[in-house]
A and B are shown apart, each in its own frame.
Chain A
Amino acid sequence: MSQTTAAAVGHAHDHAHDHGDHGHGHHPTGFMRWLTTTNHKDIGSMYLWFSFTMFLMGGVLALGIRAELFKPGLQLWHPEFFNQLTTMHGVIMVFGAIMPAFVGFANWLVPMQIGAPDMAFARMNNWSFWLLPPAALLLVISFFVPGGAAAGGWTLYAPLTSQMGPGMDLAIFALHILGASSIMGSINIVVTILNMRAPGMTLMKMPMFVWTWLITAYLLIAVMPVLAGAITMTLTDRHFGTSFFNAAGGGDPVMYQHVFWFFGHPEVYIMILPAFGIVSHVIPAFARKPLFGYSSMVYATSSIAILSFIVWAHHMFVVGMPAAGVLFFMYATVLIAVPTGVKVFNWLATMWRGSMTFETPMLFAVGFLFVFSMGGFTGLVCAIAPIDLQIQDTYYVVAHFHYVLVAGSLFALFSGAYFWLPKWTGHMYSESLGKLHFWLSLIFFNITFFPMHFLGLAGMPRRIPDYATQFADFNMIASIGAFGFGLSQLVFLVAVLKCVRGGEKATAQVWEGAEGLEWTLPSPAPYHSFEVPPQVK
């Protein structure tokens, strides 16, 4: 069945490609080229630039938060604007920066890694990208409507959301659009992976990045509609007199949390599984040794995905669940550490007795391994329900999820960016800039977020614009670190721009130990990745 589909798609592509050849002279240029492109590399680049722009925007909001928290008292913002900053920082980073960045990687890499010429649905690919800028625009505009942007936290808990102005509606519409884009992107990735692999590439021969994205795409298709449902109910509660989450009308505010976290917990893995995929390419390449335990990596990734559906209520240990519920979610949650641990052990075994060098991608991958694991450990602490009683909704949780999201997802994205930049641009990036970026990021990241563990343990709640004076020292340290971390990201921008413009020519192989189909293509990779499917043995 999949054989015939693959053949059919292959044929369809040949057909389209013939047209492409004839049409070479008619390619639009300038802005129209980007608006109308159906090429996976163009679209991948647009995703990456979009997400980096959003990353800088979300970062500026974060610096607004840290500036206010530099010392106790209200210095810069009114509390209601502070709440807008925390909310929009979260929304923009999760939905605007991290998720689209991984889709950008998928666009660039999936066709090249499976030996395909392009994505399966090229026009839908264009559409899924061009939905993003209008959504981002809605989020930006929302700051300027009466009442300002959404200020209920990125989780948009009911019934606080019912008190917001039109900024909340704009955020809901933006999330709907981003969700539609994610679903389309995911369908495209699933179909591409299942139908367009080169002959001989069985599922269990797929590169890890492709595997992790295949699983992530299924997670996205499963849970984005759940989020859409939750925020649509919020919207009708706000404007059409329904009472899904309004107790006065027979609804239940806690129901919102159940629905939201049924989306929200798989979402956590949506943001980390492709990162695992990237790291699984970088470490073997620089250890010059094949990935240890390939099949157990695949099984571990699948287990994490499945378990992610039965742990959502660990975000809600203090809403007042029955003891049986608390215990179920506590035990299910600690179990997730098992497959995650397997992955970490496999990476270590890959490094073991390798022949390692530490170029920037490897530095970020090792940095990821080290700092992400610390986030994993604090995750275990949070998973123990009685301990969570003390740290839920405190800065401990803020520290925990920034360790897994910044040092996890973001460091892996940087690692992947430096790893594949030479393939994308045809030039080597500046190693000294890359290393500078890594060390600044690692050091400032820890200065920012490590003290937050102490703040949380000692009792500082999250999402407050002002705090009791005993928290002053660590907040000051964290704020200094945050500004350092933010400015360090400009080094990355310079490194990428320099690499795009020129630099030492990259070979096809680029890295001595790199393996996979993408390294058989010249650097930069040709416009249509594989015009003739390669044979995989």
Chain B
Amino acid sequence: MKHLSRSLFGGAVALMSSVALAEPAKYIFQPPVTSVARDIFDLHTSMMWIITFIFVAVFGVMFYSIWKHRKSVGAKPAQFHESTTVEIAWTVIPVIILVAMAFPATRVVLEYKDTSNPDLTVKATGYQWKWGYDYIKGEGEGISMLSTLTTPRDQIEGDAPKGENYLREVDNMLTVPVGKKVRILTTANDVIHSFWVPEFGVKQDAIPGFVRDTWFRAEKEGIYRGQCVELCGKDHGFMPIVVNVLSAEKYTAWVASQKAAAAGVADEAAREWTKAELMARGEKAYGAVCAACHQPTGQGLANAFPTLVGSKVVAGPAIDQIKLVLAGRKGVFMPTSQMPAQAMLPDADIAAVITYTRNSWGNRSDESIVQPSAVKAAR
């Protein structure tokens, strides 16, 4: 039965996906690339067969009855109205069917809960509204990055045609080796987020103040796209999770390039930046981090997000603005809301963004240039 159903249903799915070529699946789960995802796929397939069978049987009876037992075809009502035997039968038989349904799932639960002996451990931190990845243990230990949506605003607002990976593309992908057990620790910085990659059969809430874990072992190289699935505020729909699965050699090379880049970040905080450099970097960081609330125009939104144009903070002493960006701030309009703390950004980004706001939209300030070293000192 299981083999038959798998080949029938799997055949149908294969047909659909072959028609669609590389397009993502549309009617069913994305093609699984881990053992857990495959088990879930099979569980779902067998559930669908059982349900379809019961559905046809029960509603076959109903429609037969509707057809035959109508007053208009001369049906006379019978008067029977109870039978203990029948009641017991349709209580006991469903219990057996249901336990039979749930039993195979038990093994899968135990399987996906077993996070022991990972080859690589990565902490995924949910921020409003991006993901941070810290490589805790295993090859690549010490790598740390933020992963932000790269889809341009004009695509979202309909001023440009939507790209191939619309809303599911990021600047820094979570990169892992193929065939290795990767344990993901989830946590969050502000509110609850949820880490989901459909192809891996991995979904785990990221809860502020707590660490939870899940795992996957990707069997195929490639890029897999998921997104946050727990409502986390305004830009919940705009924080994708993109995982790049590499071969062992490519992964080792990637780790080396990340280490080199990390060394560069340390250097950039130490050196003196020109205004042009800061403005260019600041515009990019502003677009990725700040524009969602303060808007690309810097004017914010009435009753929700304060304007930066002519803002006292932006015109005032630089140190106050540095501290505000690092620590976040209780909302101006909403006493209980707040601007999230941005301390996870590199010193250079914070310095550049502050410089950018102080020299844009007609803003003027005595301290118009902020160096990364000043941010480092303020931490």
A residues with a Cβ closer than 8 A to B are 72-75, 78-80, 83, 146-148, 151-153, 157, 159-160, 162-166, 168, 238-239, 246-248, 252-254, 287-296, 318-320, 322-323, 326-327, 330-331, 334-335, 337-338, 341-342, 344-345, 348-358, 366, 369-370, 373-374, 377, 380-381, 383-387, 389-390, 392-394, 454, 457-459, 461-470, 473-474, 513
Q: Could you tell me if B207 and A356 are in contact, using CB atoms closer than 8 angstroms? A: no
Q: Assuming the A-B contacts A320-B212, A459-B24, are A163 and B338 also in contact, with contact meaning beta carbons closer than 8 angstroms in the complex?
A: yes
Q: Could you tell me if A394 and B69 are in contact, using CB atoms closer than 8 angstroms? A: no
Q: Assuming the A-B contacts A292-B80, A469-B162, are A458 and B27 also in contact, with contact meaning beta carbons closer than 8 angstroms in the complex?
A: yes
The CA of A374 and the CA of B157, in the complex, are separated in Å by 37
Q: Assuming the A-B contacts A289-B81, A356-B70, A459-B24, are A160 and B47 also in contact, with contact meaning beta carbons closer than 8 angstroms in the complex?
A: no
Q: Quick one: which of B25, B210, B214, B336 has the most chain A CB within 10 A?
A: B336
Q: Assuming the A-B contacts A79-B234, A465-B237, A469-B162, are A386 and B25 also in contact, with contact meaning beta carbons closer than 8 angstroms in the complex?
A: no
Q: Assuming the A-B contacts A165-B334, A292-B81, A386-B109, are A147 and B168 also in contact, with contact meaning beta carbons closer than 8 angstroms in the complex?
A: no
Q: Does B76 contact A (CB under 8 A)?
A: yes
Q: Could you tell me if A342 and B55 are in contact, using CB atoms closer than 8 angstroms? A: no
Q: Could you tell me if A159 and B191 are in contact, using CB atoms closer than 8 angstroms? A: yes
Q: Assuming the A-B contacts A352-B61, A377-B51, are A454 and B27 also in contact, with contact meaning beta carbons closer than 8 angstroms in the complex?
A: yes
A155 to chain B, nearest CB (A): 9
Binds A, one of B84-92, B138-146, B345-353: B84-92
Q: Which residue of A lies closest to B333 (CB)?
A: A146
Q: Could you tell me if B71 and A288 are in contact, using CB atoms closer than 8 angstroms? A: yes
Q: Could you tell me if A166 and B334 are in contact, using CB atoms closer than 8 angstroms? A: yes
B contacts with A: majority SS: mixed
The CA of A318 and the CA of B196, in the complex, are separated in Å by 10
Q: Could you tell me if B70 and A370 are in contact, using CB atoms closer than 8 angstroms? A: no
Question: Which 7 residue pairs are nearest across A and B when measured between Cβ atoms?
Answer: A247-B209, A464-B237, A320-B212, A165-B334, A386-B108, A353-B78, A393-B229
- Please give, as numbers and ranges, the residues of chain A lying within 8 Å of B94 by CB-CB distance: 337-338, 341
Q: Could you tell me if A341 and B90 are in contact, using CB atoms closer than 8 angstroms? A: yes
* 30 A-B pairs in the complex with CB atoms less than 8 angstroms apart: A73-B158, A80-B304, A147-B304, A147-B333, A159-B208, A246-B209, A254-B207, A287-B77, A288-B71, A320-B213, A331-B102, A338-B91, A338-B94, A348-B61, A348-B62, A351-B62, A356-B71, A373-B58, A383-B102, A386-B36, A386-B39, A386-B40, A390-B29, A392-B203, A393-B229, A458-B25, A459-B198, A461-B228, A463-B236, A470-B24
- Please give, as numbers and ranges, the residues of chain B lying within 8 Å of A254 by CB-CB distance: 207, 210
- Please give, as numbers and ranges, the residues of chain A lying within 8 Å of B71 by CB-CB distance: 288, 355-357
- Please give, as numbers and ranges, the residues of chain B lying within 8 Å of A148 by CB-CB distance: 303-304
Q: Assuming the A-B contacts A327-B109, A357-B72, A387-B40, are A292 and B82 also in contact, with contact meaning beta carbons closer than 8 angstroms in the complex?
A: yes
Interface code B223-246, partner A: CB below 8 Å = 1, 0 otherwise?
001111111111111100000000
- Please give, as numbers and ranges, the residues of chain B lying within 8 Å of A287 by CB-CB distance: 69, 77
Q: Quick one: which of B26, B204, B333 has the most chain A CB within 10 A?
A: B26
The CA of A373 and the CA of B62, in the complex, are separated in Å by 12
Q: Could you tell me if B66 and A351 are in contact, using CB atoms closer than 8 angstroms? A: yes
Q: Could you tell me if B336 and A163 are in contact, using CB atoms closer than 8 angstroms? A: yes
- Please give, as numbers and ranges, the residues of chain B lying within 8 Å of A383 by CB-CB distance: 102
Q: Does B166 contact A (CB under 8 A)?
A: yes
Q: Could you tell me if B69 and A356 are in contact, using CB atoms closer than 8 angstroms? A: yes
The CA of A454 and the CA of B24, in the complex, are separated in Å by 12
A31 to chain B, nearest CB (A): 35
Q: Assuming the A-B contacts A163-B338, A390-B29, A465-B237, are A74 and B157 also in contact, with contact meaning beta carbons closer than 8 angstroms in the complex?
A: yes
B residues with a Cβ closer than 8 A to A are 23-30, 36-37, 39-40, 43-44, 47-48, 51, 54-55, 58-59, 61-62, 65-66, 69-72, 75-83, 86-87, 90-91, 94-95, 98-99, 101-102, 105-106, 108-110, 112-113, 155-158, 162, 165-168, 186, 190-192, 194, 196, 198, 201-205, 207-210, 212-214, 225-238, 301, 303-304, 331, 333-338
- Please give, as numbers and ranges, the residues of chain A lying within 8 Å of B26 by CB-CB distance: 454, 458, 470, 473-474
- Please give, as numbers and ranges, the residues of chain B lying within 8 Å of A467 by CB-CB distance: 167, 237
Q: Quick one: which of A253, A358, A390 has the most chain B CB within 10 A?
A: A390
Q: Assuming the A-B contacts A73-B162, A83-B236, A248-B209, are A152 and B55 also in contact, with contact meaning beta carbons closer than 8 angstroms in the complex?
A: no
Q: Assuming the A-B contacts A464-B237, A469-B162, are A294 and B336 also in contact, with contact meaning beta carbons closer than 8 angstroms in the complex?
A: no
A314 to chain B, nearest CB (A): 12
The CA of A75 and the CA of B156, in the complex, are separated in Å by 9
Q: Could you tell me if B77 and A289 are in contact, using CB atoms closer than 8 angstroms? A: yes
Q: Could you tell me if A354 and B27 are in contact, using CB atoms closer than 8 angstroms? A: no
Candidates A75, A83, A337, A356; contact of B234 at CB < 8 Å = A83
Candidates B55, B98, B204, B238; contact of A377 at CB < 8 Å = B55
